[in-house]
A and B are shown apart, each in its own frame.
Chain A
Amino acid sequence: MLIACQKTINEQLITKQEMKDKFITLKSTAVPLSVENIDTDQIIPARFLKATTREGFGDNLFRDWRYDSSNNPIKEFVLNQSKYSGKILVGGKNFGCGSSREHAAWAIYDYGFRVVISSFFADIFKNNALNNGLLPLVVSDKFLKGLFETIVVNPQTEVIVDLENQKVSADGITEGFEINKYKKTCMINGYDDIDYLLSLNSEIRAFDLVHS
């Protein structure tokens, strides 16, 4: 049962060194990036993966879409348009495909985003985002299209993400979204998989002994 197991996690939490931000609801303007198949090489190009810590990747988020080869900001790119800002990134279908680099999730989070909305996420990216307190929020194609249009018409549009009740709304349009119960609990409480796995240590040891 979820409730019973939650206790184990809570006990583990005491030993947890770094707590992620807790996430319940978020109200913010959003940045529309209406491109499909945004791969993690675009989110953070390989040449910026050389750091050995998790911080600082935000500076190079979408580096080659954001800056030209002389490092001047490319005006047309959404992150360079002052009319767009906020903690929510809205992306086209199949967001985060390609390389498994968690640096992509770190870069988006480090830049200041807390939610990415799309109609479809690649698997590994989705896991990486959830493991870092970044909510990958899946909406229907129709809602996504409406959202893009609304934000473009009015960049001040506030998007409300209600994780508790699994609802997202903006300017009169609302949609429910699915999120796995376990992952939701993790997001809301700011803990991740390792806490749970560490609590299984003796069972894992026992399994390892008989497993050939």
Chain B
Amino acid sequence: MSIQKPKTIFEKIWDNHVVKKAEGYPDALFIDRHFIHEVTSPQAFDGLRKRGIQVFSTSRTSATADHNVPTKDQHLPIKEAMSRHQVETLRKNCAEFGVELYDLGHPYQGIVHIIGPELGLTLPGMTIVCGDSHTSTHGAFGNIAFGIGTSEVEQVLATQCILQYKPKTMKIEINGTLSKGVVSKDIILYVISKISASGATGYFVEYAGDTIRNLSMEARMTICNMSIEMGARGGLIAPDEITFNYIKGRKFAPQGELFDKKVAEWKKLATDEGAVYDQVLTINAEDIGPMITYGTNPGMGMRVSDRIPTIEELKEISERTSFKKSLDYMGLEPGSQLLGKAVDYVFIGSCTNARIEDLRLVAGIVKGKKKAAGVEVWVVPGSKQVEVQAKAEGLDKIFEAAGFELRSPGCSACLGMNEDKVPVGKYCISTSNRNFEGRQGPKSRTFLASPLSAAAAAITGRVTDVRELV
């Protein structure tokens, strides 16, 4: 009997899904779950119509409207004509092809990467794709989840498969205890600041170590969510009891005996002893502080107590021009500190940090306090279910008393596509995932940070070390 070569969790799931391996071709990979939204699907449905074919498996496909939706007065028709048209097109396509849609007003509507896990549609061991780069979020459950383009959305709708080359594997191991005021968003911002916005390109990341093991599912999702911001194809975490407890009883999750049977299978997914990764990175949790970005890509981050590097401190001379351009855009000086910098907007939301635990973290800090004068604060729940839960727990009252505006679910100010935009030149501290030029609106300036740090800034009106408040 031959001894099986030890495999990583990634390799096990990948190998389980290869429909066809032909020499000279990428693997044809079967996709268990396909999420779609209004922005990246219309051209794909058109492709199906032109070819005269149906959706391969409607039961494996779920849709929602999130990017274009207003976060106020969601019961009214969408004001902006093109946004409205795109959402209506999704409606029409889902009806025509028989795809389940969680439309505006539906109790399950929300940001696509928030509702999948919430509804038990996202499970360990699966392959999951969506025409959206933050599909990596779902990897927190121990599956292969990655973002795809619209041509690939069409391929998956048509064939339930995608052609892919197997990426390399990277293990990022984080051990130790997090300090006060440091949460999972800080972990991932720290990792990206260390390996840069392109440092994991070509890799699929597995996060491991006791710091990760001790995180809740929601905190794990925040980490996997931002895997793409270092260029990784995706990021995953092996499932454990915390995962199984989260899934148990969710709407579309396996129930009863089937659930127990599945758990037994999921337990076998973890990486085998002795399996080899193409790269390993080890991080000490004690080194991580509350983080903030100062530039225009998520790799340009630092501990909030640090100062921005000077031009001379950059390792690569070739980076200097882009670095300078970035700081000019942000209106910041190389070598300066961000602590104390005034902010105009605070955005608490997005698929990175708009789950109930994030809202609880924020409420915990602001309870009994008021926002600083002149600061606009938006709290945008990631889904209808999060909104309902927040209200049931009375968080809405805390936000209201603090002068925060609790809105309805959607991508909101994470991307300047819907009505929620940060105005020209204004500074926004944001719990989202991208600080690209104009991401939150033309000429807007973004500081990425954790929900705790964003809440602290809302109260002081400035970039603040949250450790002063907790």
Q: Interface on A for B, CB 8 Å cutoff? A: 1-2, 5, 15, 17-18, 34-37, 39, 41-42, 45-47, 49-54, 64, 69, 92-94, 97-103, 105, 120, 122-124, 127-128, 131-132, 141, 145, 180-182, 192-194, 196-198, 200-201, 203-204, 207-208, 211
Contact = CB atoms under 8 A, between A and B. Distances in A.
A198 B163 CA distance: 11
A154 to B, nearest CB: 21
Nearest to B51: A17
B25, B46, B149, B443 — most chain A CB neighbours (10 Å) = B149
28 contacts: A1-B24, A2-B24, A5-B24, A15-B51, A36-B318, A46-B417, A50-B82, A93-B198, A93-B318, A97-B231, A98-B434, A98-B436, A102-B40, A102-B150, A102-B151, A105-B149, A123-B201, A127-B149, A128-B149, A131-B151, A181-B24, A182-B25, A193-B162, A194-B47, A196-B28, A200-B28, A203-B20, A211-B16
B424 interface: yes
B22 interface: yes
Interface of B: 16-17, 19-20, 22-26, 28, 30, 39-40, 42-43, 46-47, 50-51, 56-57, 67-68, 80, 82-83, 85-86, 89, 131-133, 147-152, 154-155, 158-163, 165, 167, 197-198, 201-202, 228, 231, 233, 297, 318-319, 321-322, 325, 415-417, 424, 434, 436-439, 442-443
Contacts of B22: 5
Contacts of A180: 26, 165
Contact of B161 (A5, A103, A120, A200): A200
A47 to B, nearest CB: 6
A54 B46 CA distance: 10
A68 B172 CA distance: 42
B149 A208 contact: no
Contacts of A50: 39, 68, 80, 82-83, 85-86, 417
A100 B132 contact: yes
Nearest to B262: A212
Given A50-B82, A53-B43, A193-B163, A182 B89 contact: no
B65 to A, nearest CB: 13
B78 to A, nearest CB: 11
B133 A194 contact: no
Given A39-B297, A69-B443, A132-B151, 17 more contacts: A37-B197, A50-B68, A92-B322, A94-B201, A99-B434, A100-B133, A100-B148, A127-B152, A128-B149, A141-B318, A145-B318, A182-B25, A193-B151, A193-B163, A208-B57, A208-B160, A211-B30
A35, A53, A99, A200 — most chain B CB neighbours (10 Å) = A99
B67 to A, nearest CB: 8
B278 to A, nearest CB: 15
Contacts of B439: 41, 46
A204 B436 contact: no
Given A36-B318, A69-B424, A1 B23 contact: yes
A132 B47 CA distance: 13
A47 B39 CA distance: 11
Contact of A94 (B20, B133, B165, B197): B197
A37 B437 contact: no
Given A36-B318, A36-B319, A198 B89 contact: no
B50 A18 contact: yes
A97 B197 contact: yes
A5 B442 CA distance: 48
Closest 7 CB pairs of A and B: A2-B24, A102-B149, A52-B42, A50-B82, A128-B149, A46-B417, A131-B151
A184 to B, nearest CB: 10
A141 B442 CA distance: 31
A46 B415 CA distance: 7
B297 to A, nearest CB: 5
A141 B318 CA distance: 10
A5 B28 CA distance: 13
Nearest to A194: B155
